[in-house]
Amino acid sequence: MNNTKNTDLELISENKMFGGLQRVYSHVSTVCNGSMRFAIYLPPAALEGKKVPVLTYLSGLTCTEDNVTVKAGAQRISSELGMIFVAPDTSPRGQDIDGEDDSYDFGSAAGFYLDATQEPWGKSYNMYSYITQELQDVITSNFDSADMKRQGITGHSMGGHGALTIHLKNPTLFKSCSAFAPICAPMNCPWGEKAFTGYLGSNKDSWKEYDATELIKTSPSKATLFIDQGLSDNFLKEQLKPELLEIVCEQVGQALKLRFQEGYDHSYFFMASFIEDHIRHHFDAL
């Protein structure tokens, strides 16, 4: 593999918002074997050259970098506090793999924030390395105002699973963690079982390193995990299972702030309602 880092960016769009700039970029990714996109909001403080903290938001199934950017309303509070808000895409694209675009919960837009070990996925489906290494290099090289020592991670559903597992495995890189309606125990739900079987194979021992509930048992975090979960979320019982994570947190003394929100569903109306609380949580922790 060519180890030379390519951190060049192509600007796709730029819009002024709350005094800052909402941009979308594409770049050539080695670990995802092709072109990847991410959105980034640069608050006024960053444009003035100040070092500001960085919050990465990982999206859920069927999403691109666009959903959170246009629906969640994260920019107003990011502008006010002075926080860079990064929203990567959810999987590699256009890999020409058989079945890549056949289902909403596997393949395109369903990268599950892991490094696949099963072929043909292993060559490109490496979202874990993308988020923890390659995108880090890209942001560091291109945005002087990004204070990479003050980073938090959040996400929704599949992206909430990504935020929890990536924080638990990298507590000094992403020092704060929160999630909206995360898949809390992917080894024990249909979305996770399908994805882990396809990307990691049938040996369930290898699944544990990407399961938040399992990771908390062996390596809890010093940070408080902040989770919001809507009680009218159609996926709550079968797919998300926060109760399993809650039990393990109690057993090992993992600090957890789990809020159940009456009447809220799985949609971006829910994220828009609570994104300010999450951004403030990260800003205060960083």
Ligand X SMILES: N[C@@H](CCC(=O)N[C@@H](CS)C(=O)NCC(=O)O)C(=O)O
Q: Which residues are catalytic?
A: 157, 233, 266
Q: Which residue, 71 or 204, has its beta carbon nearer to ligand X?
A: 71
Residue 150: which of 161, 139, 138, 142 has the closest Cα?
139
**What is the Rg, in whole angstroms, of the alpha carbon atoms belonging to the chain?**
18
Q: Which two tokens stand for residue 134?
A: 């390659």
In whole angstroms, what is the distance from residue 272 CA to residue 280 CA? 14
Question: 144: how many CB neighbours lie within 10 A of its CB?
Answer: 10
Enumerate residues 162-181 that contact ligand X by CB under 6 A. none
Residue 214 CB, shortest distance to ligand X, in Å, is 21
Cβ closest to ligand X, residue 113 vs residue 143: 113
Q: Does 195 interact with ligand X (rule: CB under 6 A)?
A: no
Compare residues 108 and 157 and give the one whose CB is closer to ligand X.
Answer: 157
Q: From residue 9, how far is each of 39, 138, 143 by CA, in Å?
A: 12, 8, 11
Q: How far is the CB of 67 from ligand X (least distance, A)?
A: 4
- Paired with 157 in beta bridges are none
Among 245, 238, 246, CA closest to 105: 238
Give the interface segment with ligand X, choosing from 1-9, 111-119, 215-223, 265-273 (CB under 6 A).
Answer: 265-273
Please name which of 37, 106, 96 lies closest in space to residue 66, comparing C-alpha atoms.
37
* 204: Cα separation from own chain's centroid: 23
* CB 274 to ligand X: min, Å: 14
Pairing of strands 10-17, 20-29: antiparallel
Query: Is residue 111 a contact point for ligand X (CB under 6 A)?
Result: no
Q: Which range in 78-86, 150-158, 214-222, 252-260 contacts ligand X by CB under 6 A? A: 150-158
- Tell me the DSSP string of 15-47: EEETTEEEEEEEEEETTTTEEEEEEEEE-HHHH
Taking contact as CB under 6 A, which single stretch among the options 152-160, 167-175, 243-251, 275-283 is the one that binds ligand X?
Answer: 152-160
104 near ligand X, rule: CB under 6 A:
yes
- In sequence order, the 6+-apart residues with CB closer than 8 A to the CB of 16 are 22
**Looking at 136-144, 167-175, 213-221, 262-270, which segment touches ligand X (CB under 6 A)?**
262-270
Residue 118 buriedness (CB in 10 A; 0-12 / 13-18 / 19+):
middle
Question: Which residues in the 50-69 window bind ligand X by CB under 6 A?
Answer: 60-63, 67
User: Should residue 266 be labelled a site residue for ligand X when binding is judged by CB under 6 A?
Assistant: yes
- Between 260 and 269, name the residue whose CB sits nearer to ligand X: 269
| Distance in angstroms (rounded) separating the CA atoms of residues 64 and 159 | 11
Give 253 or 263: the residue with its C-beta nearer to ligand X.
263
Nearer to ligand X, 61 or 236 (CB): 61
Which residue lies nearest ligand X, judged by its C-beta? 60
Give the binding site for ligand X (CB under 6 A). Answer: 60-63, 67, 71, 104, 156-158, 266-268
